Structure 1
Amino acid sequence: MPTGLTDAVLDTLPARIAVIDESGRIVETNAAWRAFTAEHDHPLVPDDEGPYLDTLRRSGNDQAVAVAGRLQGLTDGEGEASGEYPYHANADGEALIVRYAAVDHDGDRYVVVTHVGRAARSETAADLRLKERAMDEAPVGITVSDPSLPDNPVIYANAAFERITGYPVAEVVGRNCRFLQGEDTDPETVARMRRAVDNWEPVTVEVRNYRRNGEEFWNQVTIAPIYDADGEPSHYVGFQQDVTDRKRAEETLETERDRLALLNQIVRHDIRNDMAVALGWGGELADRLGDDDADAFERIMTAATHTKELTEAVGDLAKILGTTDPELEPVALDDVLRTEIERVRSNFDYRSEGIDIRGDDDLPAVTVTATSILSSVFGNILDNAVFHNDEADVRIDVDVTVTDETVVVRIADNGPGVPDSRKREVFGRGEKGLESPGSGLGLYLVDNLVETYGGRVWIDDNEPKGAVFCVELRRGDAE
């Protein structure tokens, strides 16, 4: 080919190309190389009159020095006759591949250097082998099917698919994956996958499948289309993961929730009703007892009231345990607090002269983010302030502080207080959960509910004595 024609062909190529002689000097370049040199000051394309390889070595750029070493090896006849170097970034911040090859011509040795953008790099056989090896070693089952063939058969399956299903790859290729289905496979789930395939849409399902030995297992299947170079869908890739253990755990949890619901029904209906009867008759006796029996009567009524409140706490706790992701909504805080304060006054009307609750006549109208059982938070704290108070005259103060994003409710009592060493333990936060040395189920419920609402609860000291239970909640009307 004439020299002029060769130069013209090289100038049409978008890659930057240069030819280096044995002295390390550039003796030929194409138009792309020359244009880049004129517009950029790049470590691999220096604007220098000296030998190219010497300039690279003096550049101070570690990658340029490495490239110079490889090119020098080719001019000296050492190492492989060709190769490439992955330059991390060019002047435009893009990845770059430096390719080089030795050429002998008329007894002289030359090296051809080509700069190719990493994105434009064509896939080599080595690249394809690496990707296939990665798929073979993947921990999840992988299949590729070809919808252009009759019945959309599998054309590739990896080793993990064989481990999960028990079917050797040789028995899988050429078949549609429906062979994994069996008697108890849900037909609607199968239909959903079929619709996705027909419409070239991705889909993820959990389906009951069967291994080669007939054993059932739960398979989490994700199917997605693969597109060709023209952007058209050509194949489907499938990912399979054995989720049997998780499904069994979910089924066990569902059974436990059903049992918990039954327990809740018994506790809320039978025990609560019986305690209501006992408290009702106790109220009838209150005016008939003499002073000598008043102390014993108060102890009985307090215990009965406490039992009734515990049944409500168990019911509320069952709602929490039975809901993995409760839906939060704006709840009027002032209404909840007034209702709970009145409930406590009513429940303890047999000793009303000894209980003084203040603060409910001046509550700010504000909503917080919670659920319908927010009342359990403040009901349990108020009950706790009464049950664990050793004073003849119980004093409870309720205060609400509103900020732009949060609301803090402080419920202060004049009881014995809570030592610093137990201010976390009373909520049952220890490793033993409900067995930790807390004040009971009620405060454990408070802690869990407030955390569910995205808030927090803590205890401060009251002055001159007692404890202050602080509940911070997110405002329901905050932007």
Structure 2
Amino acid sequence: MAQRDSHPPLQFVCDVPAISILPAAACGDREKDWRTTDVLGDEFPDKVKNAKRNAAFDANDPPPIPDGISRETMEDLPFSLVIADAQMEDMPLIYVNSAFERVSGYSRNVVLGRNCRFLQGPLTDKKDAEAIRKALDAGEEITIDILNYRSTGEEFINRLLISPMKQNGEITHFLGIQSEQPKDRAFAERAARLDEQLREVQHRVKNHLSLLLSLIRMESRKGADAQGSLKVLANRVEALNLLYDEFSRPGESEGNTVALGAYISRVCSALNMLDGHREVRMNLETDELRISIDSASQMGLLVSELLTNALQHAFEAGGDGMVNVRLWNSEDSNTVCLRVTDNGNGMPEDVDWPNEGSLGARIVRELTNRLGGDLEVESGKDGTAVTISFSAATLKGDQ
């Protein structure tokens, strides 16, 4: 199979290996390891072919994807997304988007109907695969870094975010969002050292994949401004991904808390790059503050929404501007304040944001309420300022 261009972030594993799979390029030209098939018209590893397609799966008439999710929306997402059927034997893939194809090197007509354990290989850690299996058996969300293989045989570190999907209270599917991570020699040592801490992150950061899934459903229903919606979804995924990465950084984690200033700084930097507004400058000022992992996950999404709103709506296309993000602790250390300002166009006078507005406005309102915050908005011809005040004890998890 010809090698395809890399397009991070991607990849997904949804079960433990029953056999070890060596993709084509890892096998060289050994006839016992791969062959060309008339059906596929390309080199296709026998070991992948032997990962049998579910007998009930008809490639010409695949099972429907869950209600409320648009194939068109998922197809154009800038990150990899797959869906596995939890009610069919061996949990086969019933949908992969084009981003998955680009990075894995496998076309969807090859992988649909098969369990995606074939992405694992001889050096995949069995403990990681077992952790995934246990989460799936229990119907739980999981985030984990695991060694996978492309169709070329190239190894890569795959960060998996897996979430069950339910209909009428019953798990019908599993959704996977994937992010390719840098691979270095210190990975194994670092992973072992952080194993317990990262598993605690997986336990604490709850319901956020379910939130993303609901966002995908809502964006699918909207239909309008598809490209803008997909960009916003990418920003939301990146905010959660950065939290996991922040907790993995040596010296950054203490117990079950995260350095909020460092995390928010990385969120701001990443979103500025992702959004592509090179002409809009960003200034960040933060005090030192450690908060709980669960609070940090919601703060990251909150900052992501506020920045995305400013970058997309405050400035004319191609126009320059400034966005300021300030995070500070009150003098008595009892209150934490987040303030995001821009010098853009200001909001329309007839819009009571965030009580009225887009999905992003509703998310800001919901996250603020979850964190027990008080939100104030000032907007005029000189720009917009959003200030949210939180109880420091609440953010730290003391209440």
Pairwise TM-score range, normalised by the shorter structure: 0.3 to 0.5
Normalised by the size of structure 2, how large is the TM-score?
Answer: 0.35
Where relative contact order (Cα < 8 A, 6+ residues apart) is larger, the structure is 2
Higher helix share: 1
Q: Which has the larger radius of gyration?
A: 1
